[in-house]
Amino acid sequence: MTRRKLLAGNWKMYKTVAEARQFAEQLGRRSTDLAAVSDYAVCPPFTALQTLRVILPTAVALGAQNVHPEANGAYTGEISVAMLAELGVSYVIVGHSERRALFDEGDEFVAQKVASVLQAGLIPILCVGENQAQRERGQAFEVVARQTQAALADVAGDALAGLVIAYEPVWAIGSGHTPTPVDAQQVISHIRSVVADSKGAAGAVSVRILYGGSVKPTNIDDFTHQPDIDGALVGGASLAADSFADMALAMNGRVRG
Ligand code: 13P
C-alpha cells in the first residue's frame, strides 16, 4: 500500500491574523510547487483558523494544535472538536511534547483526545518521542512504544488509516540537532511494529508516521525518503511560505522550476 506523504507545519504560538494572511498570500504564489502527489497542512494558532480557511491555497489543509476531549462544558479557555470541525479543520495535533512537558498532559488525557478527534471524523496527529535523558539511557524505543500504545488504547485497527503519528524526539525540537535519517527510520519502524502488534498488520501498514524535529528544506528529503517515514511535522521552518514550499518540493523529489 502506498501512503501519501504529509508535510504539516506547526506554527506553535507564532503569527497574528495579519501575519497568517501574509503567509497564505505568499504561499499562494508558490501553489504550483505543492504537487498533488502529497498532502499539506498548516496548524496555526486558533485565532488564525477562520482567516486561513478562506485564503490558504486549496492544496493546503487546516490543522489545529490542540483540542479538549469533551464535547462541551465548563472548561475555561478550551476548544472542542466540533468547534474546530466547524472552521474546516482537518488535522489536530495531539500530545505534542510541549503540551506534555509544559502543561502536564499525560498519556490518558492524550488518549481521550485521540478518541474524540477520530470520532468527529478529523485526523489526529499524535506526537510521541523521547527526551534527552531517556535517549541517553537508551530508552527511546521503550518510550515511544509506551506513548503509542497508551494513546491508541481505544482506537480500532481499521481507524488507523485516518490517523497520523509524528515521531518527534524532544531533544531535536528547535535545537538544530536531529537523529540521523537511519536512526529516525529505526525508531519509526519500531513504532510501526508496536502498532502491528497491538492493532494488527493492516492498521500498521496504513498509518502514516512522520518525523519532526529541526526539519528544514535542506534535510527534509533525507528523512522522507526513508521507507517508513511518511512526511514531516515542522515547526520553525514552516513559518515562512518560501521555506514551506521548498520543503514540499524537496519532499516530492522536485527542484524549483
Ligand atoms: P522545529 O521544526 O522548530 O524543531 O519544531 C518541531 C516541532 O515541534 C513540530 O511540532
- Is 13 within a domain? yes
Assess whether the C-beta atom of 173 lies below 6 angstroms from ligand 1: yes
Choose one of 43, 65, 233 to mutate for the ligand 1 pocket test, by most ligand atoms within 8 angstroms of C-beta.
233
Assess whether the C-beta atom of 234 lies below 6 angstroms from ligand 1: yes
Question: Which of 47, 45, 42, 48 is CA-nearest to residue 62?
Answer: 42
pLDDT of residue 34: 97
Expressed in angstroms and rounded, the spacing between residue 73 Cα and the centre of ligand 1 is 31
Q: For residues 183 and 6, what is the distance between their CA atoms, to the nearest angstrom? A: 20
Active-site positions read 96, 168
- Is 1 within a domain? no
Count of domains observed in the chain: 1
Question: Which of 70, 153, 166, 75 is CA-nearest to residue 123?
Answer: 166
- Domain with 12 in it: 6-251
- From the number of C-beta atoms within 10 Å of its C-beta (0-12, 13-18, 19+), residue 21 rates as middle
First to last CA, the chain: 30
- Is 232 within a domain? yes
Q: Which residues of the chain have pLDDT under 70?
A: 1, 257
- Is 149 within a domain? yes
Q: Give, using CA atoms, the residue closest to atom 5 of ligand 1.
A: 235
Q: For residues 12 and 14, what is the distance between their CA atoms, to the nearest angstrom? A: 6
pLDDT of residue 2: 86
Residue 23 is placed in which grid cell?
A: 503567509
Assess whether the C-beta atom of 157 lies below 6 angstroms from ligand 1: no
- Is 54 within a domain? yes
pLDDT of residue 1: 65
- Is 33 within a domain? yes
Q: For residues 240 and 39, what is the distance between their CA atoms, to the nearest angstrom? A: 18
Expressed in angstroms and rounded, the spacing between residue 10 Cα and the centre of ligand 1 is 7
| Residue 145, C-beta contacts closer than 8 angstroms, at least 6 positions apart | 190, 191, 194
Output helix, strand, coil percentages for the chain, rounded to the nearest 5: 45, 15, 40
Residue 215 CA: which ligand 1 atom is closest? 2
How do beta strands 6-10 and 123-128 pair? unpaired
pLDDT of residue 257: 61
Q: For residues 208 and 231, what is the distance between their CA atoms, to the nearest angstrom? A: 8
- Is 257 within a domain? no
Point out which residues pair with 62 in neighbouring strands.
42, 89
Residue 256 is placed in which grid cell?
A: 524549483
- Is 41 within a domain? yes
Provide the 10 A C-beta neighbour count for residue 16: 13
CATH number of the domain to which 96 belongs? 3.20.20.70
CA 230 from chain centre, in angstroms, equals 11
The predicted-structure confidence for 65-98, as pLDDT tens digits, reads as follows 999 999 999 999 999 999 999 999 999 999 999 9
